[in-house]
């Protein structure tokens, strides 16, 4: 998948079945989305047109951006930070979404790898020092 992401033509040239791996990735993503949707229905007990709002969808994107997109743990870290900010800042003001949005914008500008990128950078510096 990394080879296809970096250069699809080169991956195909060296013998990787690009179509097969893209289909496998798509099927995996669809399967995970289906399982998460099923778990969401079990958790909520009801699903309808008003269940998902625009902010809920944007919240997931903000979680990924906060944590960082380049790692497996990034979205988990971002979800934790997002929930903490939501819980604590919403007790201080009803406009907590504005603050979270500003944090996400600053993070994208100054830390494009998110909060998980800090851990990766520290690990790299530790290995470089040794």
Quick one: pLDDT at residue 24? 95
What's the CA gap between 85 and 100, in Å, rounded? Answer: 7
Q: Within the chain, where are the H helices?
A: 2-6, 8-13, 18-44, 54-67, 74-89, 96-110, 116-129
Q: What is the per-residue pLDDT across 90-102, written as a single tens digit (0 to 9) for each?
A: 899 888 888 888 9
Domain boundaries, the chain: 1-48, 53-130
Q: What is the per-residue pLDDT across 18-54, written as a single tens digit (0 to 9) for each?
A: 999 999 999 999 999 999 889 988 988 888 887 777 7
Higher pLDDT, 57 or 84: 84
């Amino acid at each position: 998948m990394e080879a296809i992401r970096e250069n699809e033509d080169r991956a195909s040239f060296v013998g990787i079945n690009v179509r097969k791996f893209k289909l496998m990735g798509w099927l995996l993503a669809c399967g995970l989305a289906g399982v998460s949707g099923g778990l969401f229905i079990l958790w909520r007990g009801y699903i309808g047109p008003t269940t998902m709002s625009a902010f809920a969808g944007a919240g997931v994107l903000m979680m990924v951006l906060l944590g960082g997109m380049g790692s497996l743990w990034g979205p988990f870290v971002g979800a934790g930070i997002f929930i903490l900010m939501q819980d604590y800042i919403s007790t201080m003001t009803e406009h907590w979404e504005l603050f979270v949005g500003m944090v996400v914008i600053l993070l994208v500008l100054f830390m494009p790898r998110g909060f998980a990128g800090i851990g990766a950078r520290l690990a790299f510096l530790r290995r470089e020092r040794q």
